[in-house]
Amino acid sequence: MKVTPVERLFILFDETANILQEELDCTYLEALAESGENLFHNDILQDSLSEVTRKRLKRKYSDFIIASYAPEDIRKAFQLSILKGMKGHIQPNHQMTPDTIGFIISYFADKFLGAKTDLSVLDPAVGTGNLLSTIINRQGNAGQIRAFGVEVDDLLIELAYIGANLQKQQTEFFHQDALEPLFIDPVDLVVCDLPVGYYPNDIQAKQYELNASEGHAYAHHLFIEQSINHTKPGGYLFFLIPNGLFESDEATKLHTYLKQTVYIQGVLQLPLSLFKDENTGKSILILQKKKPGIEAPKEVLLATLPKLSNKEALDKMMLGMEKWFKENK
């Protein structure tokens, strides 16, 4: 049976990570990061390895020229390896945005932005970089995309950085709390799988209009405000949001803020089959930052996406969406 490029790359990432994990006495994900660095630099960078281990790794790496693989194949294989490392040890902030959702957001980003030769994009909660990398790869002009990723977790941002290097993406990463001041110019597009929960830094939260009336602010509300602040007038924002975003005790303040700063272009509820249960269901919120000369859509694009395996329902919905774009864009 023929082995696909993704399978070949996954086997390489997995086997070399296992070797390094044993030798360096570290976690699988830390070892995966080390192996990714080796592949990118075409060298074995770990000085403490035994000669036997170095020879084993050289044999594994010798047949691979990473530049000969398509960026999407590299992304898929690297993210599969990350998923293996997360299995059974996942932390709340270590959950990865599924490929399916990345493809959907990428499709709609393309529909709203159109053909753009010089695109800047920001993910303020970049994690392992899967969502951002998917958007970049599917734009088809990765060399002309200026991308920025922000992440507070040191291991996740290291994995994102290595993945971007292997895919030859021009992404700048910032290891910091994304709700602290960002030294990033406004961008054309923001994509973000919003971190949901309370923000513990009450002092920093006071800098935001969406700070809570009392107690801790919602981090996901502050991320929305920070993202809008770093979007160009007329630029777009795509957020993965909990279905109950506009039902919380701070929802009125959020709705008022959005009405003042952006036009809501669409809310797309994702199939519940993508999530463990209905309580964890999510939607895609599409916003456009206000700009003189730009008007709100005649009607907001509201839809509940069917299962992607239901071709008939999906085709029917796509026809409806095409009609919406003709009438509103």
Q: What are 99-138's pLDDT values in tens digits? A: 888 888 988 888 888 767 789 999 999 999 999 999 999 8
Out of 71, 86, 101, a domain closes at 86
- Between vectors from CA 96 to CA 11 and to CA 39, what angle results, nearest 5°? 35
The pair of three-digit structure tokens given for residue 111, joined into one six-digit string: 């529909």
DSSP assignment of 156-224 = HHHHHHHHHHHTT--EEEEES-TTS------EEEEEEEPPPSEE--HHHHTTSTT--SSSSEEHHHHHH
pLDDT averaged over every residue in the chain? 90
Per the CB < 8 A criterion, the answer to whether 212 and 218 are in contact is: yes
119 and 264 in a common domain: yes
The pair of three-digit structure tokens given for residue 5, joined into one six-digit string: 């490029």
Q: What are 246-302's pLDDT values in tens digits? A: 888 889 999 999 999 999 999 999 988 777 777 778 999 999 999 999 999 999 999
Beta-carbon contacts of residue 50 (< 8 Å; ≥ 6 apart): 23
117 and 46 in a common domain: no
Beta-carbon contacts of residue 77 (< 8 Å; ≥ 6 apart): 5, 6, 7, 8, 9, 10, 12, 13
Strand order in the sheet with 231-242: 171-175, 145-151, 119-123, 187-193, 231-242, 282-289, 262-269, 301-304
pLDDT at 218 over 60: yes
> Which CATH number goes with the domain that contains 319?
3.40.50.150
> Which CATH number goes with the domain that contains 48?
1.10.150.470
Rounded distance between C-alpha atoms, residue 225 and residue 239, angstroms = 12
Provide the pLDDT for residue 81. 95
pLDDT at 143 over 60: no
The pair of three-digit structure tokens given for residue 249, joined into one six-digit string: 């005790």
What sections of the chain are H helices per DSSP? 5-24, 28-41, 51-62, 71-86, 99-113, 130-139, 154-166, 202-205, 219-229, 251-261, 311-328
245 and 110 in a common domain: yes
Q: How far is residue 27 CA from its own chain's centroid?
A: 23
Query: Nearest 5°: phi and psi at 140?
Result: 80, 0
The pair of three-digit structure tokens given for residue 196, joined into one six-digit string: 């949901």
221 and 123 in a common domain: yes
Residue 23, phi-psi category: left (phi > 0), alpha (psi -120 to 50), beta (remainder) = alpha
Structural domain boundaries, residue 68: 5-86
- 18-22, 28-32, 62-66, 71-75: least confident range: 62-66
Provide the pLDDT for residue 141. 60
131 and 71 in a common domain: no
Beta-carbon contacts of residue 95 (< 8 Å; ≥ 6 apart): 127
111 and 36 in a common domain: no
155 and 21 in a common domain: no
Provide the pLDDT for residue 12. 96
Provide the b/e sequence for 50-59 (b: ≥16 CB within 10 Å): eeebeebbee
User: Which pTM was predicted?
Assistant: 0.93
Please give the single-letter amino acid code of residue 107. Answer: Y
User: Count of CB atoms within 10 A of residue 310's CB?
Assistant: 14
Number of domains in the chain: 2
Rounded distance between C-alpha atoms, residue 75 and residue 124, angstroms = 19
Interval 213-238 mean pLDDT:
96
The widest CA-to-CA distance across the chain, in whole angstroms, is 68
Rounded distance between C-alpha atoms, residue 158 and residue 152, angstroms = 11
127 and 81 in a common domain: no
Residue 153's pLDDT band, with cuts at 50, 70 and 90, is: very high
DSSP bridge pairs for 175: 151
114 and 71 in a common domain: no
Provide the pLDDT for residue 167. 94
321 and 172 in a common domain: yes
Taking the alpha carbons of 162, 163, 167, 169 in that order, is the dihedral positive or negative? Answer: negative
Q: What are 81-101's pLDDT values in tens digits? A: 999 998 855 555 556 777 888
- 30-44, 243-257, 308-322: least confident range: 308-322
Provide the pLDDT for residue 89. 58
- The share of the chain scoring above pLDDT 90, in percent, equals 67
228 and 135 in a common domain: yes
- What is the radius of gyration, based on Cα positions, of the chain? 21
248 and 313 in a common domain: yes
Out of 18, 53, 86, a domain closes at 86
Provide the pLDDT for residue 34. 97
